[in-house]
Structure 1
Amino acid sequence: MSEGCFLLVPTPIGNLGDITHRAVEALQQADIIACEDTRHTSRLLAHLEISGKKLVSLHDHNEARRIPELLDAVGDGQTVAVVSDAGMPAVSDPGYRLIQACLEADAPFVVLPGPSAVLTALVGSGFPVHSFQFHGFLPVKKGKRLKAMTAGLEADGTTLFFESPHRILSTLEILAEHHPDARVCVARELTKKFETYHRGTAPELLAHFQSHPPKGEIVLLLTSAQT
């Protein structure tokens, strides 16, 4: 029996042309594809003209139950590709618990490089790249949001967060009140048709988005550095 393996496969964050040759090959050779949303992944596979694959869901609500099943499949010699809806699995997406389980069970896995909203936003912002930190989605409660952003501004380099378009105005209001001089970048819809980068102070960006309500996925970048 051939040895099974997990393949963590990054998928495009917007532009479907960004998928790599290795990612396509991994999806083609997989016996099972574990995905955050089977409907979303089905559309990607249709675009890639890959058919006949067994899709199973793997998300925050079923990881504890699903992981033992996937470990058994790999133990039986099957190849299991793991994808999230966009970008690198396990980065603010399902996958971290699976990797921990692989390490505990000594199950083989390979991580493929590929699209990343974090690195794309970091480079495109023009903010310092020598040192940076990413903290996932900002907290919902305003007090915790302020605390997280303040800590980010006190750190060296650049701090990145994911933020909802429904909360970005509130977040910019918090920054404008407490850190009006901080440098801010709002990166929207990365790699998509209407990709935009807005750079300035929080009061400047707040004024812009009050007149132009934001839509789409957002990466918020903060830095106190002046160069």
Structure 2
Amino acid sequence: MQIIRAFKRQKLLAMGLGLFLLGTSLVVLSRTSNRPVKAELNQFTGLNQIEKALKQQTSVPPALPRKIPDVQRSSVSILLSEEKEYKVSLDVHPDCQGATVCSFGRLEGKVLTGQTVQEEYGNPKDRSWQPLAQSPLPEKTVTLANGNQGLFIPWVCGAHCSTSKIVWDQDRYRYAIGLRGGMIPDDQELDFLVAMANSAIENK
């Protein structure tokens, strides 16, 4: 049993390294090539089963995109499913289950609590805090499908790296779709996340 567990850990670490190298190469290529890398959104039917499960386990109507980044062997897992909140991880392998080394995105929904988006998801505003690395993109408000307004929050790296995400409030709920920094070239990241959020809103 210990041998099997050790093998699985090694496999996940190898997949995580591959994901990191993929993201890094995309960013480097997009900044050094005259022709930017074109990332792709692909149809992913794996979210259909997750949606059915969430509808049975939480009161929050799930907002799940029908397309996700083109990553081989994409998988999805429910990390949290409670009456007023859910969290779903986009992974590179079924054994990942949201582990940092092999997860490339998050999908979240919850009942509004009274906190602002900034209070709940915003990056630190303390000028004395200097991130180890951060997205070159600014935080900004974006217009989403059906007249919804969202906030784009770029990734930063401190003790760990956050995702770049779009967060929006709809009816009595707050939703967030995030992608790991480096997964998408900087010049495409915002459009990519907006497309995913619009897909989730339109299929809600």
Task: Specify which structure has the higher proportion of helix.
Answer: 1
Task: Specify which structure has the higher proportion of strand.
Answer: 2
TM-score, length-normalised on structure 1?
A: 0.23
TM-score, length-normalised on structure 2?
A: 0.25
- Rg larger for: 1
